[in-house]
Amino acid sequence: MQLFWIPLLTLVGTLLPMLAYRFGRRATLLATATLPACALALVFTYIPDILNGQSFVWQTDWIPAAGLSIAFRFDGLALLFALLILGIGLLVILYARYYLSERDHMGRFYAFLILFMTAMLGVVMSDNILQLWFFWELTSVSSFLLISFWWHKTEARKGARMALMITGAGGLALLGAFILMGETLGTYSLSAILASGDALRESSVYVPVMILFLLGAFTKSAQFPFHFWLPHAMAAPTPVSSYLHSATMVKAGVFLLARFYPVLSGTDMWFGIVSLVGLATLLVGAYTALFKHDLKGLLAYSTISHLGLITLLFGLDTRMAAIAAVFHIINHAVFKASLFMAAGIIDHESGSRDMRQLNGLWKYMPYTATLAMVAAASMAGVPLLNGFLSKEMLFTETLHQATLGSLSWVIPVLATVGGALAVAYSLRFIHDVFFNGEPINLPRTPHEPPRYMRVPVEVLVVLCLLVGIVPEFAVGDLLNAAASAVLQAPLPEFSLAVWHGFNIPLLMSLLAVVGGSILYVNRRYLFQFQGQFTEIDAKNEFERAVQWLTARAVRLQAWFDNGRLQRYTTWLVVIALAVAGAPLLEMESAAGSLPQQAVDLPVLVAAVLLLIGTVATVVFSHQRLLALVMVSIVGLIVAVAFAWFSAPDLALTQLSVEVATIILFLLALYFLPQTTPLKESSTRRILRDLGLASAIGAVVGTICYAMLTRPLASISDFFIANSKTGGGGTNVVNVILVDFRGFDTMGEITVLGIAALGIYKLLAGMRLFVPAADQNGIGWAKDKNPMMLAVVSQSLLPLALLVSAYIFLRGHNLPGGGFIAGLITAIALIQQYVAHGVDWMKARMNFPYHVMIAVGLILALGSGLGSWLFDRPFLTTWFDYFYLPLIGKFELASAMVFDLGVYFTVIGATLLILANLGQLTTSERPRAE
């Protein structure tokens, strides 16, 4: 079975809850759990081989030319996280069935949960780092949906937004690290990168890669100083907190540290940054947790502390520390998920999470209390529970490092302090909730939850005991496989025995237990000390910072985007000058090695007309018709220049577009004010614009001169050589459009059709002011359709259509083609609108132009899909030669069908725009569809 089925099953599973929701909660639960359970069963089939040291990679090419592939890797580390993601995920699915109320949309909740499960599986299984990053960002998006599930609550919306912004910013940093890493090593394959650690560490980009990488990992795993988002994400439903913020999402950052440990570790900078950030997070989280009155708040900060513990272990310069980090990932996921679920049960059955109200619950819910106390004891590091083993490994490794040189003794001391704080807040969780008197003003009388709501907690607590008592049997092989995948090297000798004799780590554990107990007993002094400081609400501070940033952004945008086209054009020209002009300063001479062409009379005349037309357009801009004539002169000279330089296709296209554009301008100018001031700009602005125009003209002219006097190796040689043999046509331009780059052309006509439909909808129902006279005050002629114009245009129509057909049919071998032919046909038909009016045309040609666009796109797409029937790539052209009596030899090519699609699309889009704009000038204003 292929690896991709594991995430694919869960991805498909996102649809089932929404489909099953209408059949009730039980059906939704079963439908939701089915495919993740199948994925977990599939994972189990890999366990024997992976525990024996094998790893599996599945890959298929996606875009081979760009080196992109879809690849999955399954080794010991991926196996460990897949078991956590799927195993705890299934328990959370069962738990949520009883936690969510009847008012909650269970189908939507489960769909978001399974989407997050898929994203996490993608992160831990990806063998392409760009694919890994995609799933990484998907975890941020899906967690946003889950945190904000109770969107009607302000704290849920703000908490979700904070989590998305912090982790999203870290994701951008991580993308930068991955791109630098991939370009430096020449591969984006994770398997290849894991074998290239020495090359990366010796490269010049190691430091920026490591910094960007750690920003991504630290933000996701809530490391100091980015830890503040996690407690506010607790506004999510408790099943979300149990899954995302203890077992999976926040583990993504430490997973990244584990996965890239052999690539980025091994330097003083790595161990200095990672260990100190982890130690700071461990202490800040543990200290803050002690003062939280909200159950989930205490567990949130304890999660931060334990994530700091794992990060600290990855920062210590020993292989055993990395093994201990992997071990604590397992232990923390198990006891913290169970604690969150227990907290959810308490909240669900008592109506409160405030420990100042939750007292003496042992009497009301002893079974739940027992489960919660065992999990809390594991969190505190009590012997015979799983948390004790990994915490003792932490104490051992803090004694065997030299990260801070002569000050390295500080790390074991502070680690012991962190352990004592963990004992203190665990004792507070146990004593203040389950003992310490009677409940105070609870919304409802506490009681035990439904039977199956406790099952997930029971399973996890049994695992705490099992790992704590017989660790080698419970997780020995799994830990070895996962640690081997992390180190990418043989494992050192170590033992998971519960008892290692009397030694310094045991003493540190004892000091932590005793110290934590003393801290808790004397907690009132700590609370008094902490009460001196004003508590900072990170959520409010973050919102204030976001609002400040938004206000500054609005002001900056208002300065740039002030609604004046002149400012936009000015900035565009200035930036273009900076980008294009700076490299020219480094050129010694603009002239190249090619000789300059002689200036003859036709060229000189055309250049003078071009200059006169451009200058006259600016000078007479307030006289619209005259300015439009000058613009048309410019377009005509450009078309002549195309023909002069042996580009007849471009010349024909330019002429056709010029005519259509002039008609469009005439229609648009009709609705603008009839008079404009002679001087619309101040002298200062005119001088500025003149300077900018001269500068951009000089830069563009220099670039053109430099290019025309230098030999240029172009891809055109390939097209010229293969146009006839590969595309069956001698008109290279047309063959490029309908064959070599047919996919580009199809995209362009699709955009053209969408733009035409958009303009059509904008014009529909529009009511514009129709002027009654021209700019001189002379009223419009009563005869809007002169007889001479009508007769001439009607006579020219058959000739224009014949020319259009001729241009279309010859396009594959001579200048022409569907685009030019379509414009000629559209212009001929628009001429009929101008000569006869909308009503006359609708009576004779009531054809929906948007249907013509659809027909054109279908023809273009169909010609491409037809190549699949012959096992050829999309849009592959077929051509052959035939002979008929009287006609002789002729060619047929499938590209003509594609060109016919271009033809219809251009006609439909042009007429849909011009005809509907033109009908606004009439009093009746019928719609030309």
Q: Please state the domain extents for the chain.
A: 1-263, 265-530, 597-669, 730-929
Q: Which one, of 816, 894, 899, lies nearest residue 856 by Cα? A: 899
* Residue 364 C-alpha from the chain's centroid: 49
The pLDDT of residue 405 is 66
- Containing 815, the helix (H) or strand (E) segment is none
pTM listed for this prediction: 0.74
Q: What is the DSSP letter of 466?
A: H
CA distances from 377 to 73, 181, 289, 418 (A): 36, 42, 15, 15
Phi and psi torsions of 295, nearest 5°: -55, -50
As a whole number of angstroms, the distance between CA 531 and CA 553 comes to 38
Burial group, residue 845, by CB count within 10 angstroms (0-12, 13-18, 19+): middle
Q: Are 282 and 312 in contact (CB under 8 A)?
A: yes
CA distances from 162 to 217, 284, 633, 713 (A): 17, 20, 58, 53
Q: Which one, of 370, 249, 352, 353, lies nearest residue 303 by Cα? A: 249
Angle subtended at Cα 776 by Cα 772 and Cα 782, rounded to the nearest 5 degrees: 40
CA distances from 722 to 170, 717, 719, 730, 909 (A): 49, 9, 5, 9, 32
pLDDT along the chain (929 residues), means of 10: 86 91 89 94 94 90 75 94 95 92 88 95 94 94 92 86 92 95 91 91 93 95 90 89 83 94 91 92 94 91 94 89 93 93 92 88 92 94 90 87 70 92 94 88 87 93 94 91 92 82 86 92 85 76 84 86 80 87 80 80 86 86 82 88 86 87 80 66 82 88 86 80 83 86 89 88 70 60 69 84 89 86 89 78 79 91 84 80 75 84 91 77 49
Which residues have CB under 8 Å from 666's CB, separation 6+? 628
Please report, as a single letter, which amino acid is at residue 416. T
The pLDDT of residue 218 is 96
For the CA atoms of 747, 753, 759, 764, the dihedral, rounded to the nearest 10 degrees, stands at: -150
As a whole number of angstroms, the distance between CA 509 and CA 592 comes to 79
The pLDDT of residue 674 is 60
Q: What is the DSSP letter of 189?
A: B
Burial group, residue 34, by CB count within 10 angstroms (0-12, 13-18, 19+): middle
* Residue 155 C-alpha from the chain's centroid: 25
Check whether the bond before 64 is cis (ω within 30° of 0): no
Q: Are 891 and 735 in contact (CB under 8 A)?
A: no
Length of the chain (residues) = 929
The pLDDT of residue 333 is 93
As a whole number of angstroms, the distance between CA 421 and CA 425 comes to 6
Rg (CA), the chain: 37
Could you identify the residue written with the tokens 């001031």? 677
Could you identify the residue written with the tokens 């002679």? 678
Q: Write out the DSSP string of 575-610.
A: HHHHHHHHHHTT-S-S--SSPPPP--HHHHHHHHHH
Which residues have CB under 8 Å from 461's CB, separation 6+? 338, 371, 374, 375
